[in-house]
Amino acid sequence: MDEIRNLFTEGKRAYQLHQYDKANRIFLQLVEKTPFFADVFNMLGVINHNSGQFNDALKFFEQALKINPKYTEALLNLAVLYNDLGEYKKARKLYSKVQAKSREHKGSKMDPFIRAKIANKHAEVGDIYEGIGFYKDAITEYSKALKLAPTFHDIRCKLAICLREQRNFSEAIKEFRRVIKTNPKYHYAQIQLGVTQYAAGKTKDAVKQWNLVLKKVPDHEGAKMYLRLAQGAA
């Protein structure tokens, strides 16, 4: 029993530190000894999904759910995997299953934890689309995420960046301003607002935005860099 506990602790620590090769090796040893840890199979699924081993990831998530059919995180992770595999109907079915499960416990109101988890999963799918330049699809996923979690400012900034890449400058600026109004200390949003204004031909507004950042953070390298760019183009 001590050996199993030690393997689990060591593997979980490696997983949390993103040492996935090490975690994968330890977890595979662990499931050979006791194949009843749903969370271990879930983590193996995540590791294999991240490394592009989709078939193995699918098997691990399914095994986690075989052990615990109500395992929310494994359900969501499997839904994301189905999205990556183009199995959109299966993904939607799983999302619906999670939402239905939440309503069973909370009536018609979704549990905040579940809401946040689903929002982050939509954002993860959005990140994939954004990474390959499918901005329209990324905007759809980020919008779904923000419908569930409107206060997730990092996701709203991602949405705004994709709107900018689609040349929808007015909507991008609106989203960045919404973030800054809520959190004036979110300098990343201010920098990106300036970038958007500059791209839209509003150089004076961009320079003003970057100078505002420098007033608060005098050594902000991003603001300095963009100001040099603006001055060089003047």
- d(Cα 11, Cα 126) in Å, to the nearest integer? 29
Whether residue 233 is predicted with pLDDT greater than 60 in this model: the reply is: no
pLDDT the model gives residue 104: 52
Structure-block tokens of residue 8:
């689990």
Domains 1-90 and 111-234 belong to one CATH topology = yes
- C-alpha closest to that of 143 among 49, 134, 152: 152
Q: What is the DSSP string of 59-72?
A: HHHHHHHHH-TT-H
Comparing 128 with 111, the larger pLDDT belongs to: 128
Mean pLDDT of 152-168: 94
pLDDT the model gives residue 107: 44
Question: Residue 188 in contact with residue 220, Cβ under 8 Å?
Answer: no
pTM over 0.75: no
- CATH T-level assignment (fold) for domain 1-90: 1.25.40
Q: Which tens digits make up the pLDDT trace of 24-51?
A: 999 999 999 888 888 899 999 999 998 8
Structure-block tokens of residue 119:
């929002």
Whether residue 178 is predicted with pLDDT greater than 50 in this model: the reply is: yes
- d(Cα 90, Cα 140) in Å, to the nearest integer? 18
Instruction: Enumerate the domain spans of the chain.
Output: 1-90, 111-234
- d(Cα 180, Cα 193) in Å, to the nearest integer? 9
The CATH number fitting domain 111-234, selected from 1.25.40.320, 3.40.50.2300, 1.25.40.10, 3.90.1300.10: 1.25.40.10
- d(Cα 176, Cα 202) in Å, to the nearest integer? 15
Whether residue 181 is predicted with pLDDT greater than 70 in this model: the reply is: yes
pLDDT the model gives residue 109: 60
- d(Cα 112, Cα 23) in Å, to the nearest integer? 30
183: left (phi over 0), alpha (psi -120 to 50) or beta: beta
Whether residue 171 is predicted with pLDDT greater than 90 in this model: the reply is: yes
Residues 6+ apart with CB under 8 A from 208: none
CA dihedral 89, 95, 100, 102 (to 10 degrees): 170
